[in-house]
Amino acid sequence: MELTREEEAILRGEKGPRLQECMRILTTIGELNGARRLLPVWSVQLSGISFKTMGTQGTEFLEEMAQEARFQVPTTINPAGYDVGGPGLVRTSPEFREKQDRIVKALMTMGAIPTFSCTPYTTEYSPPPGAHLAWAESSAVIYANSILGAYSNREGAPSALASAVIGKTPDYGLHHPEGRRAQIVVDVDTSKGPIRYTVLGAYLGKQLGQRIPFFRGIRPDVDAMKELGSSMSAWGAVPMFHVEGVTPEADRQNLAGLERITVDAQVIGEFQRCLGCDETPQLVAIGCPHCTKGELLEIARAVKKKGRKLPSGTELWVCSNRTVIRETAPAVEILRSAGAKVIQDTCMVVAPLSDQFSVTAVNSAKAAFYIGRKSFSGQKVVFGTTEELVDRYL
């Protein structure tokens, strides 16, 4: 790679061992992927900051890094393991809380912005079109690339941390127009009935792997595209998608010679039946990824329509970030008055659910993917739309 004098000095260790370690991470990744240089980034999004995912070794590594390193660009962070800035609605053990607080302290020392959200694009830190990023949260990466017209590879936690410290990322992949081209055409046939976008994304994530799809036959709004993208990036590794007539780069795509597949409501309906079980949940959890304003308002309408307090024995979590919760205060009050927990800074995926619940209902295929795995929460999953879950269990 062609490094500047300052970059070479950091790589030689002249700015300290921590910065040297970060530069080694970035140059190694760059060389493996054919990057010729490091590219300045507009912002970084760090994932995996919950103690549930970071563990003791990761916590100690972060604390050592915080002794020397500071973030050079705006750096937002993913949800923590409990509502660190809230009233303590998420129950944890004292040990878990103490270790999570150590992680947060290290991140704040380095200069992290306390968004604690997987949807930084719903805050004042949403990037402009054309901005180069180093984001690690998969659902945020696909949203930024596809909907905002920003540029980010799907970073791992170490490479995103290194980019925050150095302020740069290797210049390859989705930072170039050729890395953003559609690789397969997906025709969505809605003649047999409507299709849930979160389920469509999960189904295609398994089929596509890392390929970038071009969708025809659908006109999703922004929240629907958020559902579609987050599920594709969880069930597969899709970093970007195009929707004909909708997304900003769709009209630049050359579809000649691309493989084409067709999906319809029957195929997606059959797949949806595999997402959950028929058991009664102790928890109904909505907000994976974190709720947008529109989604939070939808939940409030559904709960208000029900017209009564939530029954005992089942909790309702509505997870979002501080900005959205603040800007939808009337809807939040409706939910809280009905007995729901409107939770900031964490979510059902990274909070320690297994200590409290064994069966959780969700409206998100991304949430279903993660919380059903033993490495996360090992939950039995019930799956349905927001209205179905409210009507059936609340």
Residue-range domains of the chain with CATH: 5-177 (3.30.499), 181-272 (no CATH), 283-393 (3.30.499.10)
Q: Tell if the pTM clears 0.85, that is, is over it.
A: yes
Q: What angle do CA 214, 220, 225 make, to 5 degrees?
A: 75
Per-residue model confidence (pLDDT) at position 307: 87
Q: For tokens 């974190």, what's the residue?
A: 290
Note the pLDDT tens digit of each residue in 233-244. 999 999 999 999
Note the pLDDT tens digit of each residue in 274-309. 999 999 999 999 999 999 999 999 999 999 998 888
Note the pLDDT tens digit of each residue in 78-110. 999 999 998 999 999 999 999 999 999 999 999
- In sequence order, what are the residues at sequence separation of 6 or more whose Cβ sits closer than 8 angstroms to the Cβ of residue 345? 79, 80, 82, 83, 84, 85, 86, 116, 117, 321, 322
Mean pLDDT across the chain: 96
User: Which residue ranges of the chain lie beneath pLDDT 50?
Assistant: none
Per-residue model confidence (pLDDT) at position 375: 80
Note the pLDDT tens digit of each residue in 129-159. 999 999 999 999 999 999 999 999 999 999 9
- Which residues, listed in sequence order, are joined to residue 44 by a DSSP beta bridge? 75, 134
Per-residue model confidence (pLDDT) at position 72: 98
Q: Alpha-carbon dihedral of residues 115, 117, 123, 125, nearest 10 degrees?
A: 70
Q: Answer whether 310's CB lies under 8 Å from 338's CB.
A: yes
